[in-house]
Amino acid sequence: MSKSLFKVAEENPALVGFGVLATAVGGILVFRKAEMKRNSHDYDSQLTGGFKILNNQDHTLKTNEFGTSISDYEGMFAGAREKTGAITNEESVAVRTERYAAMINHFYNLVTDFYEWGWCQSFHFGPRFHDETFLESIKRAEYHLCSRLGMKPGMKALDVGCGVGGPMRNMAVFSGSNIEGITINEYQVKIGNKYNEQHSLQDLCKLTKGDFQNLPWPDEHFDVAYEIEATCHSPNRVQTFAGVARVLKPGALFAGYEWVMTKNYDPNNKDHVRIKEGIEVGNGLPTLVGPAHVIDSMEKAGFEVLDHYDANRGVHAKNELPWYETLNGKMSITGFRMTHLGRLITHSMVWTLELLRIAPEGTTKVSALLNATAIDLCDGGKLEIFTPSYFFIGRKKAHWKFPTKLDRSTEK
């Protein structure tokens, strides 16, 4: 396909959308509200899987609520991608800090199905060696946490911001530990626990609905804790990490991977700011910070930081594939959905389904949001100004006490 034709198709999704119109019409009766088996194969089909995005019986939002949800979400990022710097000012960040719970809940109501469609059930990145598949690299990043935390049968672990529980299930099978996860999103809890049952892991894995800023478990309940690209959503990491410390036993370990802007990021570089803001609006983030802020927050929350480094420090090494390579995609059966063309076809299919009122109003906006942020993430990775995998591990300090005065200042 020539660049000119591809550009026309991209700017006019109807051209591609009507290419799947016959399929869409054929699916109206069958997929008006899709029934999900939740056996990890609902999205295997390139053809029928797309009909289930935001259009399944498990979803906790009603059809007429999706449009309102995306509108409210976009309102928290007013001016994003229209004017560089629009969402970096203190007033804009304060809105998202104040309304973080609604922001995160909106975000995962809208994107969870898209993530599963293109990404499977572990919603994160990871360093990837040249001979690894994407899913192998994802599991290796999760098993690395198991190893550093010393997870083993009989231990109780906390997953802070667990999504639909993909990492939880992989890590429970690998380590034998009992894992409880928390997510603010009811839809993720509902389907995550269904996955646990389908895989006969309900005795090892459990998702709980709640806010990781205010954990519902009693003091000294867990042996270890971890987070995987989740606390980047936090409006105040000191509060989040202090809560984790509270529910951990004395001397217990807490590890994770954080989204951060690297030392190469220049806040005076307009293009750098554009990329940073694009990542924020496309991923439900109050604001991105640097590694020093994460480590400082750990210390203030009561942890002795034992190690920290960018797990993607070899992002452009000869024996690694860049962590963002999957967003570029490749022409293969498993990688096609994430190619630029694959995302365009998915976007056009979604546009058609929304036109036919199979997909709810607002679905196309969500697809466009995710397509735009995929480009931002790739740009950030190529320039090495952003990493999604800044690793840290800390030990709860002896004689720990919950901080009497938490730093409530806006994160910068």
Identify whether the C-beta of residue 377 lies closer than 8 Å to the C-beta of residue 255.
Answer: no
Six-digit token pair at 178? 């009992």
pLDDT (tens digit per residue) in 60-93: 999 999 999 999 999 999 999 999 999 999 999 9
Confidence band of 348 (pLDDT split at 50, 70, 90): confident
The pTM (predicted TM-score) of the whole model is: 0.91
What does the DSSP 8-state code read for residue 51?
G
Residue ranges with strand state E in 141-283: 156-160, 178-183, 205-209, 222-228, 248-261
For the cut 70, the answer to whether the pLDDT of residue 314 exceeds it is yes
CA 221 to each of CA 162, 188, 241: distance values in angstroms, whole numbers, following the listed order? 18, 23, 15
Cα gap 297→301, rounded to integer Å: 6
Lowest-pLDDT choice from 136-150, 205-219, 303-317, 329-343: 329-343
Instruction: Give pLDDT, residue 339.
Output: 67
| H-type alpha helices, 323-362 | 325-328, 340-355
Q: How many CB atoms within 10 Å of residue 64?
A: 10
Instruction: Give pLDDT, residue 327.
Output: 86
Confidence band of 31 (pLDDT split at 50, 70, 90): very low
Cα gap 268→138, rounded to integer Å: 34
For the cut 60, the answer to whether the pLDDT of residue 20 exceeds it is no
Confidence band of 104 (pLDDT split at 50, 70, 90): very high
| Residues contacting 103, CB < 8 A, separation 6+ | 73, 76, 96, 233, 284, 286
Six-digit token pair at 104? 């995160």
CA atoms within a 13 Å half-sphere pointing along the CA-CB vector of 369: 23
383-387: average pLDDT: 98
Q: Is the Cα dihedral 393, 397, 400, 406 positive or negative?
A: negative
Confidence band of 410 (pLDDT split at 50, 70, 90): very low
CA 35 to each of CA 32, 48, 59, 241, 321: distance values in angstroms, whole numbers, following the listed order? 10, 12, 10, 38, 37
Residue ranges with strand state E in 119-247: 128-129, 156-160, 178-183, 205-209, 222-228
Q: Is the Cα dihedral 123, 125, 129, 133 positive or negative?
A: positive
What does the DSSP 8-state code read for residue 390?
E
Cα gap 192→214, rounded to integer Å: 21
Where do the domains of the chain lie? 3-117+318-382, 128-263+290-303+384-396
Confidence band of 330 (pLDDT split at 50, 70, 90): low
The CATH classification number of 128-263+290-303+384-396 equals: 3.40.50.150
Identify whether the C-beta of residue 363 lies closer than 8 Å to the C-beta of residue 350.
Answer: yes
What does the DSSP 8-state code read for residue 320?
E
What is the distance of C-alpha 207 from the center of its chain? Answer: 16
Q: Could you tell me which of 206, 202, 239, 200 has the C-alpha nearest to residue 222?
A: 206
